[in-house]
Amino acid sequence: MFWVTVWGYPRTSTRISLAPTRTPGREPVALQFVMYTDGADFLNHVEPYLLQNEAENNLTLGVAALSLPTDSDNLWASVSDGEQVVGTVFDTPPYKTVVTAAKDDVIDLLATGVHRIGRVSTGVLGPSKSALRFAEKWSLLAGLKFNPGMEQRIYRLARVIPPASTSGALRSARPDEGPLLGSWIEAFAEETGGLRTQPGLEVVQSGLEEGQMFVWDNGGPVSMAMCGRQTRNGATISAVYTPGNERARGYASACVAELSQRLLDEGREFCCLYADRANRTSNDIYLSIGYEPVCDVDEYAY
């Protein structure tokens, strides 16, 4: 029996009947698909589970902590085996649905639960095996085909290996640099194929307001990086970009290494980031300054 339970929702809980999960040597288990009112409610119930693999689950933890509007069309849900959380899913349109690593039967129930409550998904992102399983199950339920998207790798760093010395220094970006950095954000999205939900200048302005926008300065900005999406013990670095005419000079390595060290010095136990597995240069940079692979993540579009 598969149950859909709604925490804090003013409507009656819905029960969906599916075949019980069978584990050798155990009685059939009734898994529960549980929905939560918002990211805070979600974290209140599932954070201990997510923290078991904090770097791997940095996206789920970080987005849930953002206190997104409760009236927005977001979904926060989990699957529980008795009292134990065994998988989670969240969906914040227009972004892809995000799943955690879980067993096949749990992923199947996550996909079925999300589909049965009428969600419309554009795709899925998550650890490779689980993302593929979710895409296969969702496509079967929705009668859609799916196509592979970017193949990424999550990296984690707890100690910085200083890169070769290069001229310049890390500093916070300035408001007057917004247009330049906004154009870099646009170029970064173009090169990586990322979803652009707002103009690059708006992304930069938000980063400036939050103190999350940094540049490597060598007579002016020559590389950039952002920090944010903090979890209990870590922080995420993103939007690492060097314009074409400034590449191959060590600026990105210096920028990421120095920003990572700054975050560690401020009390973070680790830093993490995503890298396109097809981009050998960026992967080599991260490995050289102390980042270690955590897991591979894939995305699929319907």
77 occurs within a structural domain: yes
Q: What is the mean pLDDT of residues 28-56?
A: 93
What is the bridge-based pairing of β-strands 234-241 and 270-276?
A: parallel
pLDDT of residue 198: 77
301 occurs within a structural domain: no
* Residues 105 and 74 both lie in one domain: yes
* Residues 95 and 27 both lie in one domain: yes
Domain that holds residue 219: 156-296
The secondary structure element, H or E, covering residue 219 is none
User: Is the pLDDT score of 205 beyond 60?
Assistant: yes
* Confidence bin at 126 (pLDDT 50/70/90): very high
- Where do we find the tokens 């990211």? 39
Whether the Cβ atoms of residue 7 and residue 34 lie closer than 8 Å to each other: yes
pTM for the model stands at 0.89
* Confidence bin at 87 (pLDDT 50/70/90): very high
* Residues 290 and 171 both lie in one domain: yes
DSSP tag of 233? S
Residues 4-35: pLDDT tens digits? Answer: 444 443 333 333 434 445 555 555 568 999 99
Which residue type does 125 have? L
* Residues 92 and 218 both lie in one domain: no
107 occurs within a structural domain: yes
Which residue type does 239 have? A
* Residues 239 and 280 both lie in one domain: yes
Give φ, ψ of 120 to 5 degrees.
Answer: -110, 115
In angstroms, the CA 250 to CA 227 distance is 19
In angstroms, the CA 98 to CA 124 distance is 6
Give φ, ψ of 121 to 5 degrees.
Answer: -110, 145
Q: What is the mean pLDDT of residues 167-189?
A: 96
The secondary structure element, H or E, covering residue 43 is helix 39-51
Compare 10 and 182 and report the one with higher pLDDT.
Answer: 182
Of the residues 124, 145, 166, which one is the last residue of a structural domain?
Answer: 145
pLDDT of residue 18: 45
In angstroms, the CA 85 to CA 53 distance is 13
* Confidence bin at 71 (pLDDT 50/70/90): low
150 occurs within a structural domain: no
Q: Residue 125 is part of a domain; what is its CATH number?
A: 3.40.630
Compare 4 and 274 and report the one with higher pLDDT.
Answer: 274
Q: What is the mean pLDDT of residues 129-153?
A: 97
* Residues 127 and 184 both lie in one domain: no
In angstroms, the CA 193 to CA 150 distance is 8
| Category of 123 on φ-ψ map: left (φ > 0), alpha (ψ -120 to 50) or beta | left
pLDDT of residue 27: 58
* Residues 229 and 202 both lie in one domain: yes
Whether the Cβ atoms of residue 41 and residue 7 lie closer than 8 Å to each other: yes
User: Is the pLDDT score of 3 beyond 60?
Assistant: no
pLDDT of residue 15: 39
Of the residues 99, 123, 145, which one is the last residue of a structural domain?
Answer: 145
- Sorted by sequence, the CB contacts under 8 Å of residue 187 that are 6+ apart come out as 241, 243
Q: Residue 197 is part of a domain; what is its CATH number?
A: 3.40.630.30
CA distances from 199 to 174, 186, 240 (A): 18, 7, 17
The secondary structure element, H or E, covering residue 285 is helix 280-288
302 occurs within a structural domain: no
User: Is the pLDDT score of 60 beyond 60?
Assistant: yes
CA distances from 153 to 127, 150, 286 (A): 9, 10, 11
248 occurs within a structural domain: yes
* Residues 281 and 254 both lie in one domain: yes
* Residues 107 and 141 both lie in one domain: yes
State the Cα angle at 239 between 233 and 242, rounded to 5°.
130
In angstroms, the CA 230 to CA 214 distance is 16
Domains held by the chain: number: 2
pLDDT of residue 7: 42
136 occurs within a structural domain: yes
pLDDT of residue 193: 75
User: Is the pLDDT score of 163 beyond 50?
Assistant: yes
3-class state of residue 14 by DSSP:
strand
* Residues 202 and 270 both lie in one domain: yes
Average pLDDT score over the chain = 90
State the Cα angle at 212 between 292 and 185, rounded to 5°.
85
HEC string of 75-118 equals: EEEEEEECCEEEEEEEECCCCCEEECCCCHHHHHHHHHHHHHCC
